[in-house]
A = this chain, B = another copy of it.
Amino acid sequence: MLGLSKKSDYALLALSYLATNGESRTVRTKEIAERFAIPAELLAKVMQRLAKMGWLASSPGPSGGYTLAVSDTSITVGDVVRAVDGGSALTHCMQSPEASGCEQWANCTIRGPLGFVNERVQDVLNHIPIRDIRERATPASAESELVKLVARDHSAPAAARRAGASRSRNEGDTP
């Protein structure tokens, strides 16, 4: 349905909460869960994945919890979605270079243009750090960031994911 899953939603929620309210304090999962009225166990699972990704520091035991381990500007919603939701591509074909298994690959005529659209969407997602996902104040900051994104050229950080649609010239591909 072209919508990110609830897990991504919860992850964004928790990360924004940690970035706002967890300066150097350990925040328990239950606290976040009760704060946002979401199932605690599911959020726990999401938190685990975030911790495994290296973005959260965990401390077990009583008075334990999670702490944001990285800067709130180094993670973007694209990263979060990709980590917690497993990929963030418009179609399965352009998820990985050629591990698609898409039967329409040979005949597909929309792969190229759709790849461009996908790249645009990914760019939008990859340029919103979680710092901008906050209370819904900060309209100036977020807006300026996005305006810069839309209006100006973006250079390096988008080179991470290399869209496999680079060469669309070959007629006879080798499966």
Is A25 on the interface with B (CB-CB < 8 A)?
no
A57 at the interface (CB under 8 A from B): no
Interface residues as binary, A81-96 with B (CB distance below 8 Å gives 1, 0 otherwise):
1000111111110000
A124-B138 Cα distance, complex, nearest whole Å: 22
Residue A108 lies at the interface, judged by CB distance under 8 Å to chain B: yes
* Contact partners of A2 in chain B: CB under 8 A: 2-5, 8, 81, 85, 87-90
Within A10-51, the residues touching B (CB, 8 Å) are 12-13, 16-17, 20, 35-38
Query: Are B4 and A90 closer than 8 Å at their CB atoms?
Result: yes
Residues of A67-87 contacting chain B, CB below 8 A = 77, 81, 85-87
Interface SS, A side? loop
Bound Cα distance A113, B112 (Å): 30
Which of A's residues lie within 8 Å of B, judged by CB? Answer: 1-5, 8-9, 12-13, 16-17, 20, 35-38, 77, 81, 85-92, 103-104, 106-114, 116-117, 119-121, 124-125, 128, 132-138, 142-143, 146, 149-150, 152-154, 168, 171-172, 175
